Every structure is written in structure tokens, then in C-alpha cells.
Chain A
């Protein structure tokens, strides 16, 4: 059994050893999985909001997609990874309460922000499991790069 490491909201982890990075209960949040197959280095971040420039108070920067990707990348760079060799998978961005106007664009914007940020960094997105109206849970096998996504009212799939 591989060791499991749970990534909660506003957390990230970059690992070199084979393990399972998991994130349970992702609603409108975005989870970004990065994988360097050659070096077997993997990272996962769980962010809640799209853009750190929106913050009006001194809040934890890891809550934002752009900053979370930044810190994860700098940690991967320090281990010798190059952006051109990193592949990404994005999960989340569900619109759970459809009647709430104020949150209705956050889910969408989280995914948009993740795509834009990764494109800007020159990282290829190889899979996405986003949108819809159900929460998800993610398990990332850092040995193979496989990502398994589970939903409460639906099948568990591999992306």
C-alpha cells in the first residue's frame, strides 16, 4: 500500500517518492496535479479562488489558483524539473448551489484561471475533469501519474 497524503484546501505538496496524494471533497475549488514523468516528481495543490489580486485582506496566498501554481512550480524547479516536461491535470470547479449568484462564477473562473496560468507557464494540460454540479474527490498516484476521480452520485473514473 502506498502512503496517502491528504491535501486540504489552501495546501500543496510536491513529492519525489511514490505515494498517493489525495484531496477529498472538492466543490467549486480547483485541484491541480502536476507530474514530471522523467524525474518522477509530482505535485498537487488545492485552491479555492481564482486570482490572488482579488484579495482585500491579508489572506493565505495558497488559497488562490495562481499563487498555488507558483509555489508548486518553484518547489518542482528546485528539484530540477522543467516546465516543458511537466504535464498537468485539472479537477474541480463544480457549481454545487446553482441558485447562488455570487458564487456562480467562481467555479468557472477557478478552472479558467488554472488553464490560463498553466498556459502562461508553458505546461501542457493532458486531462480535465471539471464543471458539473457535484463535488469530487481525487487520488493522484505519483508513481504512474494516474489520477482517479470519484463523485458521490456517480462513477469513479480515471483521467
Chain B
């Protein structure tokens, strides 16, 4: 996703001189083409995220479309108040880019796990939150953000994520993408869990004949209301999937929406990290176990919804 981001941003910035990239000293082996081709539209503030964000607001005030860049929690939590006051309060076109959202920096430890970022960003009025599901979405999201819209948060993975979309997509901020259609249950994923969600859904189809609808909810805010409502009305239940805490992430956003709309899905489960500290290190796959087992969760939801989960085995 990182590569898709920088390549597309560089192309966009060559055409639109308003596009500006600021880093707080990260981007080694990634930013060099942008920096070297477009030095007038590039800035390294040093390891100083608060200053980076304030400067971004100042530049955006003068008409730039500014991308601030760092990893994990540094461009978000470290300078949250600058984002709140200097960027959002003034409704400026600043895009906060975090590489390594979720558990991407798994073995680097707890400090490098960006697992509250979506929740924190959701609290800000006007903040658009995009967590692309694969490099194709990351490219499209980057280009969509090179525009006049207000503040946005772009939560990326790192590098080497699998491509989920084999074909070109029509990307629109706030509009979920349907990866697979089905009526038994809906899996709504945001961010890098998309490939894993699709794999799990395909495994259940093969093993148990379960036909899941799979949505890539790349935009967590504003969330695609219609897609969520349709999932609740048309399918046997909803499971949200994310590398984020269950408190405050996509799962919360979907639950908030449905309850406020007065719609009750047959069953609901948010799959994500619990509200507990994890102190062991390990790969992302290892750490993801703290969220539970997605396949088991899906079966539980189906059972709760009255779905004959033994159907497949009877066939």
C-alpha cells in the first residue's frame, strides 16, 4: 500500500502543484522519488509531529493540499490536538497518512501498534477516515484525496499486501466496495484485514456452503449507510472485521449506525482486538489471535441468527 500511495501521490503532485508532502523524518527508501523530483512540494520537519501538523495547517491555509506522513501512532496520537484544532477546526485540506496501521509493525512492539487510531479520529467532526483494503484501493484513495475536500486520515498498511481486486474498481469516498455477494451473512472489513476476510469467507463457502457478502468498508467515516443497512436487512447477520480495538473502531461505527437507525440485524459481532493490553510480541498473524478466530465468530453469528450451520455438512 505504501508503494501504491507514494507512486500515485507523486504522479498527482506532478500535475497539481498544490499537492504537498511533509514527513516527520520517515519514508527512507519510499519518499526519495517525490523528494527528488518535487523538492518545492516536499518537506521533512524532523522528528516533530506536532510541528509537522501545525505547519501543514499553515500551508493548507495558503492553498496547499498537504499530506503529513509518519508511521503507526506518531502522525495521529502524538499530535492529536494539532489535528483537532489547527486542521479540523479550520476545515483545512490536510491528509494525515499513517503507514503501519493496525498490527503491521507487529514484532516492533506495543508502541508501534496503531490500534486506537480509527476510534480517535472518528471523534473529530468533518474528519474523513479511509483505511484501504489493498494496494488497488490505496492508489485510488490517494488520488481521491488530491482534491479540495476537508481533513482526512489515510490509514495504510506497509508493503507487500496482496491485491484483492483483480479488476479495476470504481472508488468513491464513503461508498463500500462489494467483493463477494451473498445472503447468509455479511462480513464488513476495513483496512488490511480485507484479504484475510475474503480468504475466510471462501473457506466457509467451500467447507460449509456459507455464502457471505463481503464488503470493503474502506471509508469508515462517513460510513456507507446504505450498504450497512442493506447488510442488516438482506443477510443473516453482520460481522465487522478490523485490526483495531473493538471499542471505537469500525464495529462501533456500524453498531452506532444501526441502533440509531432503529435497525436490528439478526446477529452482530465485531471482530477486533479486545479492550486489554497485550504484552507479548510476535507476527501479525500471532497477534491477531488476540482478536479470536474469525471463522468461529462467523459460525457463532450464524447460529445466533438461526442459520442452519449444519446445512453444509448435511449436504
- Chain B associates with chain A: no
